[in-house]
Structures are given as C-alpha cells and as structure tokens.
C-alpha cells in the first residue's frame, strides 16, 4: 500500500495527492467522495483506483471545518454516577444508542456531568460546536443545564418528557401512564384493594406519569386515593427500601405495592420479607421497566416492560430530525405487562 520509509513519520495522503495520482482536480475527487454533481464514469474509476492505491481516507477535522458538522452526538448523564451505572436500564439505553448512532455513521461521545465543575464544562463543550446534538438521559425539569443548552440552540432529545419543555425539547418516553395503570389494574384484578405505590421524583415526567396511571386505575375501579399509601423514591434500590419502610409504618394494612422502577421494587421486596410479609401471599409487588434485575429477584418480579432499546433507537431518529431542522416532537412507545411470581395472574 503506502510505501513507508522506516523512521519517517508516515504522512497521510490528502485529497490533492489522490487528485494528482488520478490525473484530475481535487474538486473532482471531492465530488466522487460525496457523490455530488455529475462526474464521468472514467473519472470516477480513476479516482476510486487512486484512493485504493494511496490508502486515502478523508481528514475528519478538515471535513468538519468545511461542513460545520462533527458527526458526533453526546450521550449526557447528569445524575450522580452511581445511580446510572448501577442501573441495568442505563446499560440497555447506552447500548441501544451506540448501536443506532453507529448505524447512521455517527459516533457517541459519553459525557458525565454530575459535579458542578463537570456540569459547567459540559455546557461549554456541548454549546461549543463539538457535537451535533445531545441525547439527554435523565432530565430533571428544573435543571439549569437544560436551560443553558436550550439557550445555546443545541439540538436535544431527552429520554422521558421534560416537564416545562414539552414544546422545546423532543423526547421519547414509555407510555408511562397507561403502563402504570395496567400494572395496578392487574393488582386490582387479583383482588387487592389497599394498594400502595412507590413512585419517582416529582420533577421527572416518569415519576409524575406513573403516579397518575396508578391513580387512574384506582379511581376507575372505585377505590379511594389514600395519600398515606404514596411514597417518592429516586428510582434506586435503596430509596425503594426506605420508602417501603415508611409505607409499612404508615399504612401497615397494604396488600400490594406498585413500584415505579424494578430497582425500587427490589428494595421493597427485601424490606417486606425482612418484615415477615410473604410475597405474593400477603403482599403482591409489581415493578416497572423489566430490567435485568426483574427476573433475578426473589421472587421474580411482575413488571411493566419498558422497551429501552426501542426508546434509544427512536431518540436517535428524532435527534437527526431535530438537527435537520424539524420542529420538536414528543413520542411515546408502548409498554406491556410481564407477569412473574411476585404477583402471579389471578
């Protein structure tokens, strides 16, 4: 291929080298490379051959400079790291995004912005033109980072609706409300009447919507809404355990728990068993997400399947749309109930 003089730092061929080699102008080479305009078959062939002979690949920075596009997308994490990395959901989403981006010849830049210093660095980086767009993993509506990015005009797609930014930021969410409703209706169908819930943070759409679905189900079946049966967590196992602790003292008569995440459900399971309640005998438990966790808890969790691979794919699709200038859009992917031993079919 390229004759390498030993000891000499190997110099990459440029578009002009290829042009000289092919006996055409460098503009023609560029045309062949990008499939633009009309180029004669003969020229195409000789350029192709010259490229093969020289081992030419385009310099990505020069291209980015000229086109104004970088070909990379940031995958932005704003949560304290442990929450995200311990969460199998997160892995699925990351893998899905990497896949979807790679399919479109885009690359994934991973950014972690949990400390204040990291956050301001992230804003500078993201609004500095390094990336074409941002995939936002777990948006809290009040986050100033959001406002700064929106202000800088960076294309964003969030995982989950962003409260207060519905018209500005595209998002992809599970059908949280109806998923939660079907989970709770499953419990009602099994004869439960004193159903508690451990829901997510009130500043995240997922938390709000899943709580709403819980309430929908209760009212639709004439059951009372008892605020002492509602607790908030931060999606983590620990917060689920803590919430369950509180619920047990505040509403000891509960006969079912709907947790807005599998991790919180797992925490709840542990506390219930420690308190001597049999699952599902005394208390039925349903989670949300159908993460890797759900099948391995004891007993395995009945849960609402949240198709995160699908979500990741849609996020990337939407982001390329936003970059192309289309208006923001929020879309929803359907969920489905997965029945396991923690709340078997009635």
Partner DNA sequence: ACAGGGCCTGTGACCGGTTACAGTGAGCCT
Partner DNA sequence: AGGCTCACTGTAACCGGTCACAGGCCCTGT
Enumerate binding residues for its own copies (CB under 8 A): 10, 12, 57-62, 64-65, 70, 72, 75, 81, 85-86, 88, 91-92, 94-95, 98-99, 102, 107-112, 118, 121, 124-125, 127-130, 153, 292
> Whose Cβ is closer to DNA: residue 31's or residue 119's?
31
> Whose Cβ is closer to its own copies: residue 98's or residue 251's?
98
Residue 296 has which token pair? 């391995």
Least distance to DNA from the beta carbon of 56, Å? Answer: 7
8 binds DNA (CB under 7 A): no
Question: Residue 85: which of its own copies, DNA, none does it interact with, CB under 5 to 8 A by kind?
Answer: its own copies
Least distance to its own copies from the beta carbon of 188, Å? Answer: 33
Least distance to its own copies from the beta carbon of 8, Å? Answer: 12
Least distance to its own copies from the beta carbon of 345, Å? Answer: 27
336 binds DNA (CB under 7 A): no
Question: Residue 107: which of DNA, its own copies, none does it interact with, CB under 5 to 8 A by kind?
Answer: its own copies
27 binds DNA (CB under 7 A): yes
Name the burial class of residue 75, with classes exposed (0-12), middle (13-18) and buried (19+) by CB atoms within 10 angstroms of its CB.
buried
Using CB under 7 A as the binding criterion, the count of chain residues that bind DNA stands at 30
For residue 141, is it left (φ>0), alpha (ψ between -120 and 50) or beta?
alpha
When binding is defined by CB under 7 A, the residue of 4, 45, 55, 59 that contacts DNA is 59
Residue pair 176/155 in contact (Cβ under 8 Å)? The answer is no
Residues 104-123 that bind DNA (CB under 7 A): none
When binding is defined by CB under 7 A, the residue of 20, 53, 58, 71 that contacts DNA is 58
Residue 246 has which token pair? 């509180």
Task: Point out which residues pair with 198 in neighbouring strands.
Answer: 231, 259
38 binds DNA (CB under 7 A): yes
Where does this chain bind DNA (CB under 7 A)?
12, 14-16, 23-28, 30-31, 33-34, 36-43, 56, 58-59, 62-63, 65-67
């Amino acid at each position: 291929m390229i004759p390498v003089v030993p000891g000499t730092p190997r110099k990459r061929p440029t578009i002009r080298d290829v042009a000289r080699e092919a006996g055409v102008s460098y503009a023609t080479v560029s045309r062949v490379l990008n499939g633009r305009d009309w180029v004669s078959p003969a020229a195409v062939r000789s350029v192709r051959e010259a490229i093969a002979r020289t081992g030419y690949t385009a310099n990505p920075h020069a291209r980015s400079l000229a086109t104004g596009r970088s070909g990379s997308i940031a995958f932005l994490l704003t949560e304290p790291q442990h929450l995200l990395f311990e969460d199998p959901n997160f892995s699925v989403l990351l893998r899905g995004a990497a896949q979807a981006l790679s399919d479109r010849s885009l690359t994934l830049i991973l950014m972690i912005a949990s400390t204040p210093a990291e956050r301001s660095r992230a804003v500078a980086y993201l609004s500095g033109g390094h990336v074409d767009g941002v995939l936002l993993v777990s948006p809290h509506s009040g986050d100033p980072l959001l406002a700064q990015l929106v202000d800088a005009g960076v294309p964003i797609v969030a995982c989950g609706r962003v409260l207060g930014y519905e018209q500005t930021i595209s998002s992809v969410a599970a059908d949280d409300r109806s998923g939660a409703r079907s989970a709770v209706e499953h419990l009602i169908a099994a004869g439960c009447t004193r159903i508690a819930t451990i829901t997510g943070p009130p500043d995240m759409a997922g938390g709000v919507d899943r709580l709403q679905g819980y309430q929908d189900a209760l009212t639709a079946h004439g059951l009372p809404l008892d605020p002492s049966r509602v607790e908030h967590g931060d999606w983590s196992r620990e917060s689920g355990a803590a919430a369950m602790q509180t619920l047990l003292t505040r509403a000891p008569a509960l006969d079912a728990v709907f947790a807005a995440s599998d991790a919180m459900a797992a925490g709840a399971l542990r506390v219930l068993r420690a308190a001597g309640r049999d699952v599902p005998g005394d208390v039925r438990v349903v989670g949300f997400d159908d993460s890797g966790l759900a099948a391995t808890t004891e007993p395995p969790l009945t849960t609402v399947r949240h198709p995160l691979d699908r979500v990741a794919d849609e996020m990337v699709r939407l982001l390329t749309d936003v970059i192309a200038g289309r208006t923001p859009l929020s879309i929803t992917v359907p969920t489905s109930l997965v029945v396991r031993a923690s709340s078997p079919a009635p």
